[in-house]
Structure 1
Amino acid sequence: MDHGRNEFATNESLKSRRDEACPVGLPSKSGIYAARAKGAELWDVEGKRYIDFIGGIGVLNVGHAHPKVVEAIKKQAENFIHTAFGIAQYESYVEVCEKLNRIAPGPTKKKTALFNSGAEAVENSVKFARQITGRPGVIAFEGAFHGRTLLATTLTGKAKPYKVGFGPYVPAVFHAPYPDSYHGISTEGALNCLDHIFKTAINANEVAAIIVEPVQGEGGFNPAPKAFLEGLRKKCDDNGILLIADEIQSGMGRTGKYFAFESVGVEPDFLCVAKSIAAGLPLSALVGKAELMDKVVPGSMGSTYGGNPVACAAALAVFDIFETEGLLERAVEIGERTAKRWNALKAKHKNVIGDVRQVGGMVAVEFVKDGDAKQPNGDLAGAILTEARQRGLIMTTAGAYAQCLRSLVPLVISNDLLDEGLDIFEEATEAAIKG
């Protein structure tokens, strides 16, 4: 039987097969079926070209099918594909850990363990924090996204669609407001709410960890102010709480630093890494202060597939690409170019574009009704998404009401291609506003 691609397939015919074979709970962000992709471009099964502003939801910082990644994957696959690191170990796993230990924020010596997904890195960070501290409690933040496993879903601060009907959730998890100046939540107010939780919900000496995204991803690309992360670090230090940084979306160069925590000079105790670390292959990492990682009970840390040798080979190629192609600097250039265009659009349409947020290469635009931050306009964002796709640009939403559109464009994109995508976005926005 020929299992190759069906040359007569269409997006619609594949949708019919998908609907028959796959559950309705699986999302379909674009409705297109990919045939091939390169750099920041993607072609569907009907031959239509798209500029990719999603990047596999922040996974493809080095772009689709980078030649160095492809070559690394081929070379490793010819040698061996899997052994299980706990059985027959290999150098590439150790080398990935060494590189992460070297670039992780802060001066303290680090150690790293590899897993498969962002949710796994998050799960293990909480497990280990509880084991190390002997405490049950965990505090996360409203608007957070930490994954789709039960504990990660519990930590996530958005109910629909992530939490509907999945309860009861993991106990001893609490949510605090995340600072958001556009929506009226100050740094001082957010930190004071933590003290309120300590007084009314769980005593500080029963909290194992606080987990935070330095830039919320699904929450709308909200950046945490430096004073807020410094305040979290102090509260953790004062109360024997471990600080976990979820840099699954903001990490691996997206913000112009390898990790956003670098920019504010705050050192977390644990760092969760995934998405762009292996250019599309399943790989995640938990980086921690060495003294803490070595307190984890032997045998209680592991994964059958975690740190797969092919994924590790891809990750090493990613590090090489960042160093040789200057992608950290490029992230800032892309972000500034995008924000400039979106701010110009905002000045023209103040009634419907409420805010533009940029941290390095992470950029989002928020849509509202009547210029009011309290009236999110997810319908307009959705209409722009559709108009853009029809014109050859794929994007995705963010925010509690899907009222934001975000750029996670591969950092290898050229200025010409980026400008073409931004032109399409502007055309799509104008068309959606006109209705």
Structure 2
Amino acid sequence: MAGFGDYSGYNRPFGLDPNRETNDLYDTRYQQIYGYHTPITEEYQGPPLILDDPPDEDNSSYVTTAISVASLITENLLSHPFIVLRRQCQVHNSLKNFHIVPYTLLPVVVRLHRRQDITTLWKGIGSTCIVKGLNLAVEDVVAKGTGWPKEIGKCSSVLQFLQHITLKCISLAIITPFYSASLVETVQSDIASDKPALFDVFREGFVRILEWGTPSRGRMLPIWAIVLPTAALGVSKYLAHVTIKSLTARVLRFQQRHKHELSDSYNMNYHKSTQNPLIEDINLKANIFSFIAMEIMFYPVETIIHRLHIQGTRTIIDNLDTGTSVTPILTGYEGFVDCYNTTIAREGVAGLYKGFGALVLQLAAHLAIIKLTTLVVAEVSNLLKPAKSPSNSEDSVHSQQKYLFN
């Protein structure tokens, strides 16, 4: 700790009575203030000791909150152009350049912006936000109507956990037709089709529901054939996210506890506090890591699901081989298994990872924004923090000694 001289053991503050009773009183009062014991040697030969202030948690709290907000905005808004690119690659079964690495997409994006509007990679963002909001609303209604737990942290038994997973399945099944309509809006080309209105996603979604059996449009799959794999994918991603986050948080907490135990200012109860900013920081890091791992793990399955959704919708997308032309989506898959087998046979395993470079760019941009936010908020917090003058430090010594022995 700052203020301790280079002396053997720990030092007693200036002016303390050398008898053991006073030492014990000092140690007890120090523990009440700072939460941990500080052993005191019998002899003191050094200058007056300045006690450290309690750890400043405000700075860490501000940084954690700012990162949480930045991560939420990035995930739901700023990542949308990369989502558009990866989805266009995923549904394009005849794409020659798979764009598995990021740098192959850069010249294509430049050509797209030259030929089309600057908003070409922001198409469908309104319907995407609507579908996410609809999902939350459906979960809330189902939870209130059934009494099932909406959050996994409130599950105290196996039955409640199963009810929670069932709630997730029901909400995903209900929004599947609207997700399908939103997917079409994000991949269709602006120059080959009319721009949809904001609430067209509801109209197209209800049309898919009415065509529950045999759709009227060509090779379009009935919505019941898409609901099961879509809900299975959503629940699998959710469970993987929760599991990876929990394991990552355990590892980070173990590392932080071990590091703290080796430090001079060990506080036994510090990591048990629910308001500890370190706990919030660990949970945030675990959440980001689990999100990245989840997106990578389920990318091939997501490719198949998106191809099933887009089939028969007469969608024309931008040709990402050139970036200057458009191409229609013409497929005839009979279901999930047939789509998987056909993709492997015609495009190879790499066909399941078309557009993976866009995901790499998305995750890189996500991490870059979080890092920039951390640096900016930390610097602003340090600038706004009042500096301590020497006189204030000396007054702090006297006030601490007065408090310890009063």
TM-score scaled by structure 1? Answer: 0.23
Larger strand percent: 1
Higher relative contact order (CA 8 A, sep 6+): 2
TM-score scaled by structure 2? Answer: 0.24
